[in-house]
Amino acid sequence: MDLFDIVTPLFLSLIVGGTFVGIIFGAIPGMTATMAVAVCLPLTYSLGLNNGLALLLGLYVGGISGGLVPAILLGIPGTPSSITTCFDGHPMTKAGEGEKALRIGIVASLVGGLISLLILDLFAPVLAEFAIQFSYVEKFLIILFALSVMAALSSDMLMGIFSGFLGIFISLIGTYSIESGGNGEIRLIPPGMENWLESGFSLLPVLIGLFGLAAILEEAEKGVPESMSAKDVKIGAASTFSFGIFRNQIGNLIRSSSIGTFVGILPGVGGSAASILAYTGAKTFSKHPETFGKGEPAGIVASESGNNGLTGGALVPLLSLGIPGDSTTALLIGAFTLQGVQVGPLFIGENPRTWDAMIIAMLVANFAMFGIMYFAIRFMARVVTVPKPILFPIILMMCVIGAYTINYGIMFDVWTLLIFGLFGWAAVKVGIEVAPFIIGFILGPSAEIYFVKSLESFGDLTIFFTKSWIAIFLWVLIAGSIGGSAMLARKRRMQEAFAE
């Protein structure tokens, strides 16, 4: 009975529709799953939490999966997470096996998504149960650990750390909230801006600016490259696909999906890291590593099961600790905020129906993705030809609606969208990493409360090291992630110097 309360025709339609739209976003180079969620977020205002999440999770799964279409057919990753799919997918297309490569990628995506969903279902409640006992000290250290992991995995650790702290700093602009235990005083607001910045920058306009507007500005900077024409897309229909291809890929599928899920669990680490690690793993364990990069189906299997493995994994820290696993799940925080629901250790226990709805939505979205892409493969291949001059203005308009309606009609939120759109475009060029920045921005206010309240309660800085064995363990993890990353960077520099 309960199940049918959640699974209504509208709920299912939103998942399938969201997955379909997500695939289109993923399949068009320059557009991502994150952008799909950002643009469609305003549609959830009137849907209620469960139905809103159904739409967004469909977009998420579809967006991550759709990236394989241009990666295989054009050799251009539709999303950053399908970068390694190009390595073997496009050579197969050039050899007339495009359709076969697409079907391999679609099946691998389904398996990756389902394995990660299983891990999410089993692992998130256990982690949440464990995290309930955390005090403010451990909660602060968890945030510090999340930032250190993100910084360690950034292309430049120093810039990664700087970006995370910059995000925290900007999130502190405005009032020290009384509702969270603060004193209600304002800080960091430039003179004359008090009326607009009293509550700081709203989360959603910032996210929509960074992931919607900034992406379109980047495309505009490149001159909005023309989409392929239909006659240029060669799918290679003569190639034959059979599920027998996967007979020797069971180990690869499980390993790559697990790698993707694990990378997803690490806060702020995106799908590109998941697919690269899964691909490297598959190549390392292969009996014929020399075939990788030349049209090896195992490479597509690893890449696609790895990046779809991320989808369930990234929800683990979000739903158990309140820390987003990647930029797309950071946007899901916006959906929860809109509905007045707090994500964190208590979320699953206090919202069992929403938790069930999310698991069901992810399950249906994975099968919907498979159904849409596998059986409408020729139509999906044409998606890469959708003209950007038609799509981009609509996306820009939707970004404006999302920003304007979040606080029921405040124009400053629309200007926030523009400010952070331009910031997102410029940030990449000066080396600021957007993922640590946004996670810092989201977690900054919580970090402040946890830090200051810990000091108020205990009156001593040593409490962060002596509160419990969990605190000590978290410091070991923080030191390990930064130390490990520094060692790897040093080794890389030495290798480069040696090569020169």
Q: What is the x/- site pattern for another protein, positions 458-497, by CB under 8 A?
A: -xxxx-----------------------------------
- Report the DSSP pairing between strands 174-175 and 186-187: antiparallel
CA angle, corner 499, sides to 495 and 500, nearest 5? 120
Q: Is position 388 an interface residue for another protein (rule: CB under 8 A)?
A: yes
Instruction: Report the residue from 75, 125, 182, 371 that binds another protein according to the rule CB under 8 A.
Output: 182
Cβ proximity to another protein: between 10 and 237 the closer is: 10
Q: Which two tokens stand for residue 466?
A: 């002596």
Among 59, 348, 398, 478, binds another protein (CB under 8 A): 398
Nearest to 391 by CA among 224, 177, 150: 224
User: Which segment (15-23, 41-49, 234-242, 321-329) binds another protein by CB under 8 A?
Assistant: 41-49
Q: How far is the CB of 221 from another protein (least distance, A)?
A: 5
In the block, tokens 């800080």 appear at 187
Q: How many CB atoms lie within 10 A of CB 173?
A: 18
Cα separations in angstroms, 406 against 14, 103, 124, 208, 397: 21, 40, 29, 11, 15
Q: Is 137 helix (H, G, I), strand (E, B) or coil?
A: helix
Q: Where are the alpha helices (DSSP H) in 30-156?
A: 33-40, 49-66, 68-73, 83-94, 98-131, 136-152
Q: Which residues, 6+ apart, have CB-to-CB distance to 497 below 8 Å?
A: none
Is residue 411 near another protein by the rule CB under 8 A? yes
Report DSSP state, residue 186. Answer: E
Exactly one of 161, 298, 300, 315 binds another protein (CB under 8 A); that residue is 161
CA–CA distance, 17 with 33 (Å, rounded to integer): 14
Among 10, 386, 418, 482, binds another protein (CB under 8 A): 418
346: contact with another protein by CB under 8 A: no
Q: Any contact of residue 392 with another protein (CB under 8 A)?
A: yes
Residue 432 CB, nearest approach to another protein (Å): 10
451 binds another protein (CB under 8 A): yes
Token couple for 271:
């799908």
If the CB atoms of residues 42 and 62 are measured against another protein, the closer one turns out to be 42
Alpha carbon 232 to its chain centroid, in Å, reads 31
Q: Which residues of 224-234 are buried (b: 16+ CB within 10 A; e: fewer)?
A: eeebbeeeebe
Footprint on residues 194-233 left by another protein (CB under 8 A)? 213, 216-217, 220-224, 226
CB of 479 to another protein, least distance (A): 17
Q: Which residue in the set 3, 389, 498, 499 belongs to the binding site for another protein (CB under 8 A)?
A: 389
- Cβ 44 to another protein, closest distance in Å? 10
Residue from 168, 331, 335, 380 touching another protein (CB under 8 A): that is 168
Cβ 425 to another protein shortest distance, Å: 9
Out of 254, 401, 477, 489, the only residue in the binding site for another protein (CB under 8 A) is: 401
- CA 62 to CA 78: how far, in whole Å? 12
- Residue whose CB is less far from another protein, 185 or 290: 185
Rule CB under 8 A: say whether 42 interacts with another protein: yes
Count of residues engaged in binding another protein, rule: CB under 8 A: 61
**Strand boundaries in 294-424, DSSP class E:** none
Q: Are 1 and 40 in contact (CB under 8 A)?
A: no
Binding flag, residue 28, another protein (CB under 8 A): no
Residue 419 binds to another protein (criterion: CB under 8 A): no
Task: Determine which helix (DSSP H) or strand (DSSP E) holds 174, and give its type and residue range.
Answer: strand 174-175
- CA 439 – CA 144 distance, rounded (Å): 11
Tell me if 91 contacts another protein by CB under 8 A: no
Does 300 contact another protein by CB under 8 A? no
Residues that bind another protein (CB under 8 A): 42, 45-46, 158-159, 161-162, 165-166, 168-169, 172, 176, 182-183, 185-188, 213, 216-217, 220-224, 226, 387-390, 392-394, 396-398, 400-401, 404-405, 408-409, 411, 414-415, 418, 422, 429, 444, 447-448, 451-452, 455-456, 459-462
